[in-house]
Amino acid sequence: MPEGDTIFRAARTLHRALAGRRVTRFESAFPRLTRVHEDTPLVGRTIESIDSRGKHLLFAFSGNLVLHTHLRMNGGWHLYRPNERWRRPSRDMRVLIATEDAIAVGFSIPVAEFLTARDLARHEQLQALGPDLAAERFDRAEALTRLRTRPDCPVADALLDQRVMAGIGNVFKSEVLFIAGVNPFVRIADLTERAIGGVLDVARHQLRANASERPRGAWVGRRRTTTNSLNPAHSLWVYGRGGRPCRRCGATILSRKTGVDRRVTYWCPSCQPI
């Protein structure tokens, strides 16, 4: 699943290519979006901005209309020049927004809806999001408070709760806790203020670092790294490395499915003791 850093970069790239331009073409595989387009056409509207909120993307159009998308596990936005060949098959297209100079194509997107400003202000999921770790401004005190409201929750599960802080997914969950030296299964109530603050600061640093400016091609995304290694094979500390030696101490990396969704957590028993 794309995490907060990927969505932040996607919003920035799409905004630079599309903001201030007029829509020349709109298509969607979602009947609800198509009906809105037929009743109040997107063509002719100006794209005012593209922003991210955690793992959500918001396209604001003139005339009080916002397109909200969530990529879930397999969705993605690509940006193309007119007449450029797509890198994914057309059958995977779910939303297409074109201007005179660029075409944004949303592939395999499971969630897409049009909202007015009033709808956006009342949107239960969006309004419940915690502080966005990748955003320019981050309310650290609010995130700490929200963490403390879940005293019996293992810290690994708390980090995935977008109502606590927005942007962390399964990769960053394991990586952040390794870097912070915190065992994933310790309850929030059993962590010191210093330990909780350390986890939060590592999470903020990692998402911001991975959301930084770097060159890329047509795909709105890139490989993330938490180790600062220039070797692509050594980009992560523990995620996906169950049964292999820890890059830091050599102990065997362990893994376990946890939480309601049974997501896999990776950790080093030596570097992250209970």
Task: Please indicate, yes or no, whether residues 156 and 227 belong to a single structural domain of this protein.
Answer: yes
* 273 is a domain residue: no
At 174 the three-state DSSP class reads helix
Task: Please indicate, yes or no, whether residues 159 and 218 belong to a single structural domain of this protein.
Answer: yes
Residue bearing tokens 């959301």: 211
pTM of the model: 0.88
173 has catalytic annotation: no
In angstroms, the CA 199 to CA 181 distance is 9
State the pLDDT at residue 218.
36
Candidates 3, 154, 173, 184; catalytic one: 3
Candidates 9, 53, 55, 241; catalytic one: 55
Q: Give the domain range for residue 94.
A: 4-127
* 11 is a domain residue: yes
For residue 26, give both structure tokens: 């709109």
Residue bearing tokens 């969607």: 28
* 189 is a domain residue: yes
State the pLDDT at residue 222.
56
* 134 is a domain residue: no
Amino acid code (one letter) for 169: G
Summarize pLDDT for 60-104 with one digit per residue, the tens. 999 999 999 999 888 999 999 999 999 999 999 999 999 999 999
Among 74, 97, 127, the domain boundary falls at 127
Task: Please indicate, yes or no, whether residues 254 and 174 belong to a single structural domain of this protein.
Answer: yes
Summarize pLDDT for 219-265 with one digit per residue, the tens. 344 578 999 888 888 999 999 999 999 999 999 999 999 877 788 99
Among 76, 99, 127, the domain boundary falls at 127
* 100 is a domain residue: yes
Quick one: how many helices (H) and strands (E) in the chain?
8, 10
In angstroms, the CA 192 to CA 217 distance is 43
Return the closest-CA partner of residue 33 out of 97, 90, 86, 76: 97
- CATH number of the domain enclosing 144: 1.10.8.50
Summarize pLDDT for 178-208 with one digit per residue, the tens. 999 999 999 999 999 999 999 999 999 999 9
Task: Please indicate, yes or no, whether residues 240 and 150 belong to a single structural domain of this protein.
Answer: yes
Candidates 150, 256, 263, 269; catalytic one: 263
The answer on pLDDT for 49 being more than 90 is yes
The tally of domains found in the chain comes to 2
In angstroms, the CA 138 to CA 86 distance is 36
In angstroms, the CA 151 to CA 43 distance is 50
Task: Please indicate, yes or no, whether residues 163 and 262 belong to a single structural domain of this protein.
Answer: yes
- CATH number of the domain enclosing 72: 3.20.190.10
Please give the helix or strand (H or E) that residue 112 lies within, else none: strand 111-115
Candidates 2, 131, 154, 184; catalytic one: 2
Task: Please indicate, yes or no, whether residues 149 and 180 belong to a single structural domain of this protein.
Answer: yes
CA–centroid distance for 225 within its chain = 15
CB count within 10 Å of CB 82 equals: 12
Among 127, 162, 187, the domain boundary falls at 127
Q: In what order do the strands lie in the sheet with 93-98?
A: 25-28, 93-98, 103-107, 76-80
State the pLDDT at residue 1.
60
Task: Please indicate, yes or no, whether residues 69 and 29 belong to a single structural domain of this protein.
Answer: yes
Task: Please indicate, yes or no, whether residues 115 and 48 belong to a single structural domain of this protein.
Answer: yes
